[in-house]
Structure 1
């Protein structure tokens, strides 16, 4: 699931992941993502930091506190912020990896494969 408030970013990530063979869900912010996760199981979260209504860090902290399999979904956090404190904050919130935007589509597909396996192989 791509969680980002920018439609163009979601489209760019969707294109990269679908070309690599993944099915893609989208949410415009952390609140929408939490709601969708109640009914839609996913294998990977790609989460922007800065979003309205619920930012990426708040979303990850809330998700990681939940009980159930959704609390363990691997999360890749993306942001334009590149400071060590930003990486540390993402890790503390529950991110598995932190990548600085802009991301190459191949890089995104490689991280998806590393975190959740090749499409169709779980």
Structure 2
């Protein structure tokens, strides 16, 4: 993508978390969109191509696992997804990978950690 930012969709029901991720990612040159739950995230993912998804596990209407399962079932170009959660048990990480996650981060996330994972999965922002 020449001269265009990589597009990241942040799917989280907490406004403060979305703002935190947006600030970090936009500061690094990424283009960020937001969704408040898995249903809104899926609608956005099906209408606009994204380079990466940052997905919370626990959300109303459709949780992160359901979002990823539904997204991976679609016949669209599939971008990597990072599951982000306060859940730190091995079974939670396994469930995320089974649902279609490519990486798993445990909250709270340090800005450098978030950016390192994004760069690893999609490259630099600009």
Structure 1 unpaired stretches of 5+? none
Q: Deviation string for 1:59-106 (max 9, x for gaps)?
A: 00011111121xx21000000010000000000000000110000011
Question: Per residue, is there more strand in 1 or in 2?
Answer: 2
> Once superposed, what is the RMSD of the aligned Cα atoms?
0.7
User: Following the alignment from structure 2 to structure 1, what is the Cα–Cα distance between the partners of residues 70 and 45?
Assistant: 12
Matched, 1:12 2:13: no
Query: Matched residue of 2:31: which SS?
Result: coil
Runs of 4+ residues over 3 Å off in structure 1: none
- Relative to the length of structure 1, the TM-score reads 0.94
Aligned with residue 113 of structure 1, among 106, 115, 119: 119
- Relative to the length of structure 2, the TM-score reads 0.91
Matched, 1:41 2:49: yes
Structure 2 unpaired stretches of 5+? 1-8
Quote how far apart the aligned CAs of 1:38 are.
2.3
User: Following the alignment from structure 1 to structure 2, what is the Cα–Cα distance between the partners of residues 49 and 35?
Assistant: 17
Query: Matched residue of 1:103: which SS?
Result: coil
